[in-house]
Amino acid sequence: MPRNSWNSARTRRKSSRSYQAFLESERSSGSRLAKATSRQSEARRTPMTSSLRTVIVDSDADSVAALKRILAASPSVVLVGEFVNARQAAHEAPARRPDLVIVEVDEAGPTSVAEQPAWVIGSLTRALPGAAIFATGQSTSADFVIEVIRAGALEFIRRPVEREDLISALEKVLRLRRGAPAARQPGHIASVFSTKGGLGVTTMATNLAVCLAERAQGSTILVDLDTRQSDVTTFLNLQPSYSILDALENLERLDESFLRGLVTKHSSGLAILPGPSRMERNRLAAEQVQAGLDVIRAHFDHVVLDLKHDMDPATIAALEASDSILFLTGLDVSSLRSGAAAIAAFRHLGLGVQKVKVVVMREGTGNDVTTKHAREALGLPIHWRTPSDYPTVVASINTGTPVVTASPRSKVARNLRELAEQLARGRRPAAESASSRVASLARRLVWTTKGTSGGR
């Protein structure tokens, strides 16, 4: 994808993403409501019934009358209050213990802070933490609807409210109130990391993630943990609307439905949360990364991280959260010296080196440095070796197609699929073949790392 068309393409995609599409992704999960219902039930210490105690917050008498007619036809709804504004509702509604709030929001230039959609929704969620919130409004703007959802609304229903839309939303709430789903096993996080650029971190991450996604649709996500312009989108020929920053800067709203609304889907079934579309100055905090990954791994079986080459706090937090670390290196003195320093930093920081899997990239490009030297320099066994096939890999990058898809019979594609298979099954690789005896270069390769504190 040409770089100079990036911003316009991104703008077109974002503007065309309708509020219905975003809400459809929101409707794929009810974790937010399940959590709210759990808190409400615990607070009351009473069994949860199948009826919804409902309040309406709306200044339009005709709209209120229409809502009441629709709700009256549902035996599962009990109307317990009507309020003309959110301030009044936040003050009086808690005494009525509502399960559901249907509130009017207006995009057309609120005259005060108390009428702004984010304030309206926010005040109600704070006052009624156990209630689900339906927002109603006339807007079809994707940005406006996303703002409302992020503020805490479970649903956005366009005005005038149609009976089918409201009944469908009510039925979903009732289904979710019958009980939250059982907790799933956290997903496996595999980080792809190197201390030097140019070794193929993004190539490795994208191809492994695509292979894992092809095994089980919807169970794998690729996360680009970098605030620099994303290479993942180039390698996969994507035009995303959102990035990792949208997730980590909205941790309070980051549940499964919100997360799936942010990801971009690849034709392989892979979900992608890329880096930003342009360079960003803000840096990711370790706490953000740790909290974000906790949410992400709760909803995906496989999480593949494409990490930056700097050992900053965010990268260290990602490495700590990882179940396995594919540590990429090359068979050259510079790569191995840098890698040895990083392994020493891992030990210094208490990162378990038992989860580090050394991967030698582009084996066979030279004869001076061998895998034996790499093992001696890093102090770890060689877990995997990839063949050198530069033309095939570059051709796949230029077309925005993973090499495992573009050239499935190539040596490098078969190699990467085998590695992905091993990650999926948790199998150990065959023992490393013996290297031919050559004069040791270990004295040149091993860099003294006294006082290493995690920097490059």
Lowest mean pLDDT among 112-116, 384-388, 449-453: 449-453
Question: How is the chain split into domains, by residue range?
Answer: 18-177, 188-445
pLDDT, one tens digit per residue, over 277-294 is 777 667 888 989 998 999
CA-to-CA separations, 236 to 16, 191, 300, in angstroms, rounded? 21, 18, 20
Q: What is the 3-state secondary structure (H, E, C) of the chain?
A: CCHHHHHHHHHHHHHHCCHHHHHHHHCCCCHHHHHHHHHHHHHHCCCCCCCEEEEEECCCHHHHHHHHHHHHCCCCEEEEEEECCHHHHHHHHHHHCCCEEEEECCCCCCCCHHHCHHHHHHHHHHHCCCCEEEEEECCCCHHHHHHHHHHCCCEEEECCCCHHHHHHHHHHHHHHHCCCCCCCCCCEEEEEECCCCCCCHHHHHHHHHHHHHHHCCCCEEEEEECCCCCCHHHHHCCCCCCCHHHHHCCHHHCCHHHHHHHCEECCCCCEEECCCCCCCCCCCCHHHHHHHHHHHHCCCCEEEEEECCCCCHHHHHHHHHCCEEEEEEECCHHHHHHHHHHHHHHHHHCCCHHHEEEEEEEECCCCCCCHHHHHHHHCCCEEEEEECCHHHHHHHHHHCCCHHHHCCCCHHHHHHHHHHHHHHHCCCCCCCCCCCCCCCCHHHHCCCCCCCCCCC
173 — pLDDT class (breaks 50, 70, 90): confident
Q: Which CATH superfamily is domain 188-445 in?
A: P-loop containing nucleotide triphosphate hydrolases (3.40.50.300)
- What pLDDT is recorded for position 182? 52
The per-residue pLDDT for range 243-272, each reduced to its tens digit, is 999 999 888 788 888 888 899 999 999 999
List pLDDT tens digits, range 206-221. Answer: 999 999 999 877 789 9
Torsion angle defined by CA atoms of residues 137, 139, 140 and 143, in that order, rounded to the nearest 10 degrees = -100
The more confidently predicted of residues 6 and 194 is 194
Confidence class for position 196, pLDDT limits 50, 70, 90: confident
Structure confidence at residue 112 (pLDDT): 56
Percent of the chain topping pLDDT 90: 42
Residue 115 has a pLDDT of 67
Please tell me if the domain spanning 18-177 has the same topology as the one spanning 188-445: yes
Residue 313 has pLDDT above 70, yes or no: yes
The CATH code of domain 18-177 reads 3.40.50.2300
Average pLDDT for the chain = 80
pLDDT of residue 319: 95
Output the pLDDT for position 15. Answer: 42
Please say whether the dihedral angle defined by the alpha carbons of residues 68, 70, 75 and 76, taken in this order, is positive or negative.
negative
pLDDT in tens, 82-102: 999 999 999 999 988 899 999
Q: What is the average per-residue pLDDT within 49-54?
A: 72
Check whether 445 has a pLDDT greater than 70. Answer: no
Can you tell me the mean pLDDT for 31-46?
Answer: 39
pLDDT tens for each residue of 354-413: 999 999 998 877 678 888 999 999 999 999 999 988 899 999 999 999 999 999 999 999
